[in-house]
Chain A
Amino acid sequence: MNSQYEVLNPWADADPVPLRGISPRPADLAGKTIGLFAGYKMASKPILAEVEKGLKERFSTLKFSLFLSNEHIDVTELTNKAEFEKWLKGVDAVVCAVGD
């Protein structure tokens, strides 16, 4: 059992897509349109309702736009992907909830 083994990697140990940073943040949210993305699971709507309520109390000039998904969260596979993309163009920031 003194054999030596030169072993290969079981997976390509490199990131499959180039990494990038997240989008620049605004200094504050005043006057922005907040997109609320709710997944199909039950808790997503009450979570976002409470987030919306809190944001309204803090920033009276905020607008909100809700997108409801009855499907899996992977938006690249949504049957209403075009509708989602149109919705995305109309918001300044997004809060996403998919909870059970």
Chain B
Amino acid sequence: MSAEKAGIPSVVIAVKDFLFSCKATGKAAGLPDIRVAVYPGAIAIHPLEEVEKNIREVVFPQVIKLLTEPIAEAAASATDTAANENTVVFEGSFEEVNDYFHARQWTDGLPVVPPTEEKVAPFLKYTDRSPGEVLGFLHPSLRPATVQSIAINGVMAGCCPEYMPILVAIIEAIAAPRFRLEDAGSSAGWAPLIILNGPVIKRLGFNAGTGVLRVGNQANTSVGRFLRLYMRNVAGFIPGVGDMATFGRPNLPVLAEDEDASPWEPLSVTRGFQHGESVVTMNSVGFMSFQLTVVAQTPGGLLESITAKVKQNLLAGDGSVITKGPEVSHLLVLSPVIARTLASGGYSKRDVQQYIFKHSKVPATVFDSWLAFQGVANACDCVRKGLLPAHFCESDDPQRMLPLFHAPEELQIIVAGTAERNRFFVAQQVGRQGLATSRKINLALSA
């Protein structure tokens, strides 16, 4: 698209399933007629001879045609100046409104609360932002993320107006360049997880205990639903168009930390915020482990057992995410009793992170199998290309032990779930896609 904008004819080669995605991305960037040559099938599992044959016989003729065929008169489409979000787009009964929204793919497949002006107005009272304020332009649609559209999608999701400051903070976080929202529709199909800290948890009735990630509690569930609706309606993540998740993942409710039950500082404080501040942290989840039981007679034994299972699960997911960005932000979610037992043995949160970092290493040869997919020879090659820090190549011994994340603090620890149950889980983050991004919640206008 940069080439076309510079006046240079161009063609993109894509597999068939990505044709609509290419066209949608082109339209969002102002080039609805971008030309795409289609490769038949899944190229990564074709033998080289088949790739060459398909390029020669199927793709190559398209490339010539698409670079030289004159542009049709109607190609340069006019800008769509259809209704904006302040316009009443439909009038009807509850069922008719939902039929209308379903037909336009404006829902997640479930009934929505009709977003009338009367329903939206109370949401706007809980923010000092003006309805038209733009918090960012969201990929892949590049539509503006306005305060008004946050309120509308909040209504649709079944949120209470009091949740509005949280909804605003969520959108601020996902709009930040660090989060790379544009990758939320990648084949990996990761889910964005909302992590909540601070007084807002109790004040607005979020569940941080048993079944914290089950749907059912209004606050956790509706705020999680809001995010998926917003990503769909405003960012444009519609499966098969802007969202190319091969399988996708179910929508996640909010993970609220049980700060009262934790012996340690909450995640938000670890991430640099003050005690007493309410904070949203957005984090991608590519893989979530079993909710694991851990049994040991001593705090040290407990940590040793947790470490073995963390290692096992980071390897069971996609360990190669470590090479795909400058940092990762995995999650280790401990039940309160596990956290308290570790603390009783003198372990701080930092101690736990350092122990697991040090004792979950793997031989360098493990990295080789991951890297073949990226056309990189080994971990030292990754260091030379700037994909890993220097300490991953202190020697070229293939049996040297390498960590599964760059630094101890990349394993973020959260305390939640059933208070006295000895379980934990690991959530593997997706490298540069959806790195932990936090925003303070502005509760100034809340009661």
Contact residues on A (Cβ < 8 Å of other chain), bracket: 35 or more
A83 at the interface (CB under 8 A from B): no
B63 at the interface (CB under 8 A from A): yes
- B40: shortest Cβ distance to chain A, in Å? 12
Cβ of A12 and Cβ of B143 under 8 Å apart? yes
Secondary structure dominating the interface of A: loop
Which chain A residues border B71 with CB–CB below 8 Å?
A: 21-22, 24-25
Secondary structure dominating the interface of B: mixed
How many Å lie between the Cα of A23 and that of B3 in the bound state?
A: 9
B93 at the interface (CB under 8 A from A): yes
- B69: shortest Cβ distance to chain A, in Å? 6
Contact residues on B (Cβ < 8 Å of other chain), bracket: 35 or more
Which chain A residues border B117 with CB–CB below 8 Å?
A: 6, 8
Question: A5-B91, A88-B2 known; A18 and B86 CB under 8 Å?
Answer: no
Which residues does B use to contact A, with CB under 8 Å? 2-4, 6-15, 27-35, 39, 42-44, 48, 51-52, 55-56, 59-60, 63-64, 67-71, 75-94, 97, 100-101, 106, 114-117, 120, 137, 141-144, 146, 149, 152-153, 156, 180, 182-183, 187, 229, 233-234, 373-375, 385-387, 432
Cβ of B43 and Cβ of A8 under 8 Å apart? no
Cβ of B116 and Cβ of A6 under 8 Å apart? yes
Known: A92-B8, A95-B11, A95-B63. 4 other contacts (CB 8 A): A6-B116, A43-B44, A46-B51, A74-B182
Cβ of A19 and Cβ of B85 under 8 Å apart? no
Cβ of A19 and Cβ of B43 under 8 Å apart? no
Question: A4-B92, A19-B32 known; A10 and B116 CB under 8 Å?
Answer: no
A2 at the interface (CB under 8 A from B): yes
Contact of B106 among A10, A27, A91, A99 (CB under 8 A): A10
Cβ of A99 and Cβ of B120 under 8 Å apart? no
Name the CB-closest residue of B to A74.
Answer: B182
Which residues does A use to contact B, with CB under 8 Å? 1-29, 35, 37, 40-43, 45-47, 50-51, 54-55, 58, 70, 72, 74-76, 84, 88-89, 91-100
Which chain A residues border B29 with CB–CB below 8 Å?
A: 17
Which chain B residues border A16 with CB–CB below 8 Å?
A: 28, 137, 141-144
Cβ of B85 and Cβ of A47 under 8 Å apart? no
Question: A7-B89, A19-B30, A22-B31 known; A40 and B68 CB under 8 Å?
Answer: no
Name the CB-closest residue of B to A75.
Answer: B2
